[in-house]
Amino acid sequence: MAKAAKRLQVNEALLRVVAPFVGEKVNVDASAEAEKTLKSVYTPKCSVNIQRTNKLCTPEFDLQIVVPAYNVEFYIEQCIDSILEQQTKYSYKIYIVNDGSKDGTAARLDKYRDNAKVVIINQENQGLSEARNTGFKEIRGKYIMFVDSDDYLMPDAIESLMNRITDGDDELVQGGYVEYYDNTKQYDETLRGVKKEMLHSNDWVYNIPGFAWGKVFKSELFANLVFPKGFWYEDTIMGLSIFPRLKSFSTIAVPVYCYRKRQGSITAVQAQVRALETWWVTIGLIDSWKTMGVKEDNRLYDFMLEQLRCNYERVHLLQNESVDKALFVLTCRMMREHFPDMTTSLAKYSLLEKAINTCDYGLYKWCCRLVSLN
């Protein structure tokens, strides 16, 4: 932590030195042309839709575990076994959604067909979001957990998470995670995802990582919500749709999840035009805020600055300056419309905020690149 803080201070100092020399103002009124530029490179096949009424049944068990599976024949058994081997007093059922796998995934799943704790659902390939959505179309558990099929749970994960979420009125509990590198077959046991243990808090910005796994949710959070079908970066709904509505959450500083880093994942191949979906998902979720009851407050504003930096980082991999600039124009317009006159409480984003407020594309690029190093 001390090294990270020192690095942040150095980068902030560097930014303030270079800021007067890197400026490049853009015309935010040219947003129509900017949107045309993005769509000329990539246009989504559908619009972002995250609203659906799921069937919230009378709870039949404590925890509904949703596992979307696509072409994971070499990983799926370790994943499912890690759940079935959990020592816990809580009842659970695993909903495995085989999303049209073309390898031997279905055959590997056959061994679980007679297990009372497992439900196997087969469907045509529709993508990760819709596979997850299928797994909670009918919500029969009091709580929900998501596990990606190439990852697995650590021992006592269910017990640790459920003990915390049932001890109070939390709507979400976040645990820590470790990483496994598939190419080198090595573990990194550094605890990630939880900076500190927190009890019954609503200070969610930067205290809950923005992915679906490693958490237990109160099922009601998904009563009228789904992941955006047909898009990358589906977990953006965490920071832009779920976390802002939380009244209370807790974190536990123990490893509950092992995240496998492997080739072929979205993070490994995002230098493709579909990286632009990060913007379409962001703006689509913003359009749903009113109906979803999301308040445009200062906490959400602080988080949006990080989301915008993340959008730049993803899209910049395309190495297309006109696209980067168009994204910035649309970003400035959006922030003016939704967060006028707000000021960040986070020093690391003060210059990024200035870049957006003054439409300074040159400063924006520097801010995004240096902040990402912290």
pTM of the full structure: 0.92
Residue 9 is predicted with a pLDDT of 55
Rounded-to-integer distance, Cα 128 and Cα 203, Å:
29
Burial 240-279 (b: 16+ CB within 10 A, else e): bbbbbebeebbbbebbbbbbbbeeeebeeebeeebbbbbb
Residue 371 is predicted with a pLDDT of 63
Residue 348 is predicted with a pLDDT of 86
Residue 11 is predicted with a pLDDT of 53
Question: And the tokens for 203?
Answer: 């200070």
Residue 6 is predicted with a pLDDT of 53
Residue 25 is predicted with a pLDDT of 86
Q: How confident is the model at residue 12 (pLDDT cuts 50, 70, 90)?
A: low
Rounded-to-integer distance, Cα 249 and Cα 199, Å:
7
Please indicate whether residue 18 or residue 150 has the higher confidence score (pLDDT). 150
Partners of 69 in beta bridges: 98
Condensed to tens digits (0 to 9), the pLDDT of residues 63-95 reads 999 999 999 999 999 999 999 999 999 999 999
> β-strands 249-261, 198-201: how paired?
antiparallel
Indicate if the pLDDT at residue 365 is higher than 50: yes
Indicate if the pLDDT at residue 349 is higher than 80: yes
Amino acid at 89: K
Domains belonging to the chain, first-starting first, are 2-46+288-371 (no CATH), 55-264 (3.90.550.10)
Q: How confident is the model at residue 130 (pLDDT cuts 50, 70, 90)?
A: very high
Indicate if the pLDDT at residue 201 is higher than 90: yes
Residue 14 is predicted with a pLDDT of 56
Please indicate whether residue 11 or residue 285 has the higher confidence score (pLDDT). 285
Residue 20 is predicted with a pLDDT of 55
Indicate if the pLDDT at residue 273 is higher than 60: yes
* Arithmetic mean of pLDDT, 173-177: 98
Residue 1 is predicted with a pLDDT of 47
Residue 347 is predicted with a pLDDT of 86
Please indicate whether residue 140 or residue 262 has the higher confidence score (pLDDT). 140
Percent of the chain with pLDDT over 90: 83
The DSSP 8-state label assigned to residue 154 in this structure reads: P
* Arithmetic mean of pLDDT, 289-314: 96
Indicate if the pLDDT at residue 146 is higher than 80: yes
The overall average pLDDT reported for the chain is 92
* Arithmetic mean of pLDDT, 100-110: 98
Q: How confident is the model at residue 221 (pLDDT cuts 50, 70, 90)?
A: very high
Q: Could you tell me if 67 and 37 are in contact, meaning their C-beta atoms sit under 8 angstroms apart?
A: no
Report CA Rg, the chain: 21
Question: And the tokens for 253?
Answer: 């500083």
Rounded-to-integer distance, Cα 71 and Cα 42, Å:
26
Condensed to tens digits (0 to 9), the pLDDT of residues 318-337 reads 999 999 999 999 999 999 99
